[in-house]
Amino acid sequence: MQTAKQQAESVLRHLPDNCTLEDIQYHLYVLEKIGKGRKDIEDGRSFTADEAKARLATWLAN
């Protein structure tokens, strides 16, 4: 598993030279959210598609 610094370096290597600071921030943000999502799945904090649909239906009914 890469360290946060290694992940940031990888993002920078793959972005074009003319990218903005906003582009860099966005890509790092997305990378962080993907990592958190994967951790949630590993820790059993996820729902099946059917469970998600049922929860959404309940919320929309209110």
List of residues 6+ apart from 12 with CB closer than 8 A: 24
Instruction: Chunk the chain into consecutive blocks of 10 residues (it has 62) and report each block's average pLDDT, rounded to whole numbers.
Output: 94 97 97 96 96 94 84
**Contact assessment for residue 56 and residue 48, using Cβ atoms and an 8 Å cutoff:** no
Q: What is the pLDDT of residue 1?
A: 82
Full 3-state SS string of 9-41:
HHHHHHCCCCCCHHHHHHHHHHHHHHHHHHHHH
**The model's pTM:** 0.75
Q: What is the pLDDT of residue 31?
A: 95
Q: What is the pLDDT of residue 62?
A: 77
